[in-house]
Structure 1
Amino acid sequence: MNQAKPPKLSKPSFTGYEVFVIAILAFLQFTVILDFMVMSPLGAILMPQLQISPAQFGWAVSVYAFSACVSGLLAAGFADKFDRKKLLIFFYVGFLIGTALCAMATNYHFLLAARIVTGLFGGVIGSVGMAIITDLFSIERRGRVMGFVQMAFGVSQVLGLPIGLVLANKFGWHSPFWMIAGVGLIPGIIIALYMKPVTEHLRIQHDRNPFEHLGKTVANSKYVLAFLTTTLLATGGFMLMPFGSAFSIHNLGLTQADLPALYGISGVFSFVFGPLAGFLSDKVGKYKVFVGGTILTMIVVAIYTNLGLTPLAMVIAINVLLFAGIMARMVSSTAMISAIPQPQDRGAFMSINSSVQQLSGGLAAALAGMVITEGPDGKLQHYSTLGIIVMASMMGCMIMMYFINQQVNRKLAKTAAPQPVREIEAEAFIIE
């Protein structure tokens, strides 16, 4: 007698409201990512105008990460206690205020303080958005969702950075921050008016107070590996990106006028790489995509950090390949790690994970500032040393992500075992 096969879970297409959520979260991420990324191309302008050293500029980048780390830890205990929509609006308003303060900065110390304020609020936004995505979308669709949301990275490259650089070249380095604060009002208003409350997690939250909830999440042995892996994940971008524009101009021989084309063309390809990485993550496996992206990124980093004078077309081609690897790593790793926490811990887990990421990224940026020195001719020295450090961290991260993948697979298999389909779908843990 044939045994009845368990019902196969369908892969429903996105509803109209789900498309809206993906789009608005991507728009919001665009403003947050642009605020961080704009510091890199502005480095070539900021260092001479504010008369600061590479080490000081490294701190101007890293204080954002340090303050974001602190706020993430402080917010973690409360992250599952409130409607996620309200939390998102609160922190986003603070982020816009911080960005406006950056635009008003008149000296290095004012800018440093403004970056701290921006980080206190901006650092939590990504974790709240991740918790919303994990609440609303099952693991079998989460790769595609992450791919579309991470397109914000490409949009910031194509539209944000070139426009910001043009404004900076014409009106001064303050203008890109005014642009971000102004454009950032749009997603904030739309979220306040049209996004539905996200409160399902409140029904299964049993911890009596935020500190108890924070303590339980931090002490959960099943989450420790994810936090450690995130530590290495942040190293690459925070080490290389802050000095990218200065390296391009002083070492590769590009001009300030070349940077909009460099970032813009590279970003256009990110429109393709983000969704493609998400599709492949759901189709062939998230860890396989992560490994492929890591290997590609390591090869490109080895080439890029050892370049001398290089034609613009060659630099653009190398950057396109670099972004292909980065997007594959970002999308696949985010989707994998999002499956680790239990539903009642998602907000706290994402906040702590974001804090770990920001802390490690801040330390990496500060370390990069100490490794990099400026030669008499203005060229950055020891950039290849950063490349070696980044490649070593990527290799270690690839090994650690293997065990993350094993942990996720065991969890999904256990959850999907003999339980009713409705219960599986309710927890949004569906076998790929």
Structure 2
Amino acid sequence: MSSKAALFTSYEKFVIAMLAILQFTVILDFMVLSPLGALLMPKLGISTSQFGLVVSAYAISAGASGLLSAGFADKFDRKRMLLFFYAGFVAGTLCCGLAQSYPFLLGARVLTGIFGGVIGSISFAIIADLFPMEVRGRVMGYVQMAFAASQVLGIPVGLYLATALNWHAPFLMIVGLAVPIGIFIALKLRPVTAHLETRLDKNPFLHLWHTATNSFYLRGFAATMLLATGGFMLMPFSSAFLVNNVGIPETRLSVIFFVTGLSAFFFGPYLGKLSDRLGKYRLFVFGSLLSMVMVFVYTHLGPNPIWVILAVNTVLWVGISSRMISSSALTSGVPLMKDRGAYMGINSSLQQVSGGVASFVAGLIVYQPTQTAPLQHFDTVGYVTMGTMMVTIFMMYFIDRQVAERLAVAPQRQ
């Protein structure tokens, strides 16, 4: 392992921390909506399918925005792109916090998705620009801690505020966190412009077309679409499933999210190091197989003590984290630097659209006779999720081979 892998510079540590904190606010904005479902649906008087549309509205609008902006992603300084879309994300989240009706909330989620959905692709492009492949698993492990942090800190606090005050409070909390973060990024992050020296296409639409039709990139796009399906199908109805099927009181949901996220928070950096040491594809296979087993167990749960739910959720998140970290690091090696922003934008777009469709389809599969009745057909959603995980194991094998061949030919460009 290179000396760079053993020790990051102080600025590199700052970049990793900054991107992790930024991702925390963006991920929390999306993730906090799902556990609010048990409170929000009866409050606004909406059905499971309407709530599924609220969740998927963010993803679908994010997908459209990612695709439209992809052609311009390699044309500008990545720092400026990041600040522009983060400002729009904060504005959209503020609208969510001020929403008083279902149509307004739906529109606010669309606005938030237009800006928030592009931030992840810009962040991953920055990581790929600044860090070589042999340490990207470790970097992704730290950045992906944002998911765990949203579980440990954001969601429990958000749920507490929602129950103590109202469901608007979590979104206003995110705005309060995001504003100073944006100011800090503007002051401290250096310009990220190395990609401008290698970019060949001057026309952004031509650049988008060349990237979208590159045969080397198509496998990565296809895998991304399936990778997003599982989480987007399960997350929107997890809190309602725990409350109505498993018998967990709404007041104890924050405990489950806290303990689960705490374990994922500590496992993330270790899994990142493991992906660099043992191989990113090997970790992905392990995470996929573990996730498949635990999805089956989770979606077939009945009334159980809370310690059982904590154990199941913790192991499930270890599997999910293994998949997220390893796949993010591995697919970052697919595009060349000159195409990286466009590739990440298209990738994010496909991820959001496929995830949005998955959330909407899950809302059609899951049925709740009354607002307090157990959810029906949640196990069917689990079977679909397990099927997509099995297919991605084979798809990621070919991507792993492709990236290895690319690195052998031009390691400095990966």
Query: Into which bin does the TM-score normalised by the smaller protein fall?
Result: over 0.9
| 1:70 paired residue among 45, 48, 64 | 64
Q: 2:315 matched to 1:318?
A: no
8 Å Cα contact 1:273-1:328 kept in structure 2: no
| 2:410 paired residue among 396, 415, 429 | 415
8 Å Cα contact 1:154-1:271 kept in structure 2: yes
Task: Give the letter aligned to residue 207 of structure 1.
Answer: D
| 1:402 paired residue among 380, 397, 406 | 397
Q: 1:303 is matched with which residue?
A: 297
Measured against aligned partners, the alpha-carbon deviations of 1:184-239 in whole angstroms (never above 9, x if no partner) come to 11221110000000011111112121111101101111100000000000011100
- Gaps (5+ residues) in structure 2? none
Q: 1:117 is matched with which residue?
A: 111
8 Å Cα contact 1:294-1:398 kept in structure 2: yes
- Gaps (5+ residues) in structure 1? 1-7, 417-423
Deviation at 1:346, TM superposition (A): 0.2
Q: 2:381 is matched with which residue?
A: 386
Measured against aligned partners, the alpha-carbon deviations of 1:235-289 in whole angstroms (never above 9, x if no partner) come to 1110000101000000000011101100001011111221111000000000000
Aligned counterparts of 1:119 and 1:298: Cα–Cα separation in 2: 29
Deviation at 1:311, TM superposition (A): 1.0
Aligned counterparts of 2:326 and 2:202: Cα–Cα separation in 1: 34
Deviation at 1:96, TM superposition (A): 0.2
Within-5 A mapping of 1:22-421 = 22-376=16-370, 378-416=373-411
**SS at 1:309 equivalent:** coil
Deviation at 1:10, TM superposition (A): 4.3
Q: Max radius of gyration: which structure? A: 1
Aligned counterparts of 1:142 and 1:133: Cα–Cα separation in 2: 8
Deviation at 1:9, TM superposition (A): 5.3
Aligned counterparts of 2:245 and 2:287: Cα–Cα separation in 1: 26
**SS at 2:301 equivalent:** coil
- Change beyond 3 A, Cα 1:287–1:101: same
Q: CA RMSD in A?
A: 1.0
8 Å Cα contact 1:124-1:351 kept in structure 2: yes
Higher mean Cα deviation, 227-236 or 185-194?
A: 185-194
| 2:9 paired residue among 15, 18, 22 | 15
Task: Give the letter aligned to residue 269 of structure 1.
Answer: S
Task: Give the letter aligned to residue 55 of structure 2.
Answer: V
Higher mean Cα deviation, 367-376 or 126-135?
A: 367-376
Aligned counterparts of 2:148 and 2:3: Cα–Cα separation in 1: 31
Deviation at 1:98, TM superposition (A): 0.1
Measured against aligned partners, the alpha-carbon deviations of 1:124-169 in whole angstroms (never above 9, x if no partner) come to 0000000000000000000000000000111100100000000000
8 Å Cα contact 1:31-1:180 kept in structure 2: yes
Deviation at 1:375, TM superposition (A): 2.8
Aligned counterparts of 2:375 and 2:114: Cα–Cα separation in 1: 31
**SS at 2:36 equivalent:** helix
TM-score of the superposed pair, with normalisation by structure 2: 0.98
Deviation at 1:412, TM superposition (A): 1.1
**SS at 1:62 equivalent:** helix
Task: Give the letter aligned to residue 290 of structure 1.
Answer: F
Aligned counterparts of 1:409 and 1:134: Cα–Cα separation in 2: 16
TM-score of the superposed pair, with normalisation by structure 1: 0.94
The count of aligned residue pairs is: 412
Aligned counterparts of 2:409 and 2:174: Cα–Cα separation in 1: 45
Deviation at 1:415, TM superposition (A): 2.2
Deviation at 1:378, TM superposition (A): 1.4
8 Å Cα contact 1:54-1:374 kept in structure 2: yes
Aligned counterparts of 1:203 and 1:415: Cα–Cα separation in 2: 17
